[in-house]
Each structure stands twice: as C-alpha cells, then as structure tokens.
C-alpha cells in the first residue's frame, strides 16, 4: 500500500520518518517536522506564502547540512506556523563565512539537532526551510521541486545538478526572487 501511495504524487505520502508520526499534507498547506518530532511547522505549498524552492551548493550549506548541498524552499514568515516546539528551537547566527556578508540565523531542534530553517538579515521576513524536513515525501518531487540551483561554481563534480533548474553561478538571489 505504501509503495502505491509513493507512486501517486497527487496524494500525500507520509512514511514513518521521524519520532512524530503526525505530519499532514492537504491542499495548500503541509507540515515539516524535526527528526525526533518535538518541533513541527505548518507552511504553505503555494503562493503567496511559498516564495521559491532551490538547491544551494555554497560552502556554508555544505557545512550546515553535513552534505554537499542544501535543498531548501523559502516561505514568507507571515504564513509559517509553529505547530509545536517553538520553545525547543536553538538559534545560531553568524556572518563570517556567508558569501553575501549578511547574517544568517539558523534554527535547530534542541533535542535532535535537526536544522529546520534559516533567516537571512537581508530578508528578515522570509524563512528558508529544509525540503528534507517535509513530512509529505511527494511534495519533494512536486510542489517543492527545486527550480533554481545556486552557487553552481561550488558544486561537487559528481553531482550534475538539478535537471531543468535555472543554474546560477553564484548566489545572485535577486535573479529568482
């Protein structure tokens, strides 16, 4: 049954992928949950609250995700709801290595360490969420599929990029906002 749901991208596919098990997805809204389930967010899956979806290959995203790139989407903060666990978030800010020179504040679950979102001082009214925290895995392939790839100049050679996405050599944010 789960395989059939996973193959039908028009329906939610929410596998048991965290300590919560109560993620949901409906027309226009879905949830993102940390690995242990303590923190859960509700976010829009369409505009005007959903701004964009992208992959970032910058050196900061490599380090903060412990991977070779970050797969993320941006939400207008007016449309982001902290369902639970807001008081369990820990933040860490810095600007030293950020290519733009802006301060980036990262919000992690204090229990399991999952990075749930980032906020840039350049765009304080926007939250940059991690696609991997989304409970409905079909959204990874559909509404939240990255449309842009940033910092292509820093991409590892074995990753050929996101097929069909606009390729941006650096972090020229204004090109796709």
Whether 97 is covered by a domain: the verdict is yes
Range of the domain at 37: 29-167
Domain tally for the chain? Answer: 1
Whether 150 is covered by a domain: the verdict is yes
What DSSP line would sit under 66-112, residue for residue?
A: TSS-EEEEEEEGGG-EEEE-GGGEEEEEE-SS-TT---EEEEEETTT
CATH number at residue 85: 2.170.150.70
The two structure tokens encoding residue 174: 């204004």
Whether 177 is covered by a domain: the verdict is no
pLDDT digit string (tens) for the chain, length 177 residues: 444 445 676 777 777 766 777 888 998 999 999 999 999 999 999 999 999 999 998 888 888 888 888 899 999 999 999 999 999 999 999 876 666 678 889 999 999 999 999 998 888 899 999 999 999 999 999 999 999 999 899 899 999 988 999 999 877 655 444
Whether 23 is covered by a domain: the verdict is no
Largest Cα span, the chain: 48
The two structure tokens encoding residue 95: 């600007």
Whether 1 is covered by a domain: the verdict is no
Whether 173 is covered by a domain: the verdict is no
Whether 63 is covered by a domain: the verdict is yes
d(CA 170, CA 177): 14
């Amino acid at each position: 049954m789960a395989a059939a749901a996973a193959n039908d991208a028009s329906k939610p596919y929410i596998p048991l992928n965290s300590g919560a098990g109560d993620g949901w997805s409906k027309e226009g809204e879905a949830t993102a949950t940390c690995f242990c389930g303590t923190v859960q967010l509700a976010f829009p899956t369409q505009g005007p609250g959903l701004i964009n979806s992208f992959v970032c290959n910058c050196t900061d995203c490599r380090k903060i995700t412990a991977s070779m790139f970050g797969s993320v989407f941006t939400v207008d903060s007016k449309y982001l709801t902290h369902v639970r666990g807001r008081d369990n978030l820990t933040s860490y800010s810095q600007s030293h290595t950020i290519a733009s020179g802006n301060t980036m504040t990262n919000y992690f679950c204090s229990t399991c360490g999952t990075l749930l979102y980032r906020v840039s001082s350049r765009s304080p009214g926007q939250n940059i969420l991690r696609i991997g925290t989304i409970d409905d895995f079909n959204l990874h392939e559909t509404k939240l599929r990255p449309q842009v790839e940033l910092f292509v100049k820093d991409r590892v050679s074995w990753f050929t990029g996101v097929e069909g996405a606009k390729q941006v050599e650096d972090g020229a944010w204004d090109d796709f906002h």
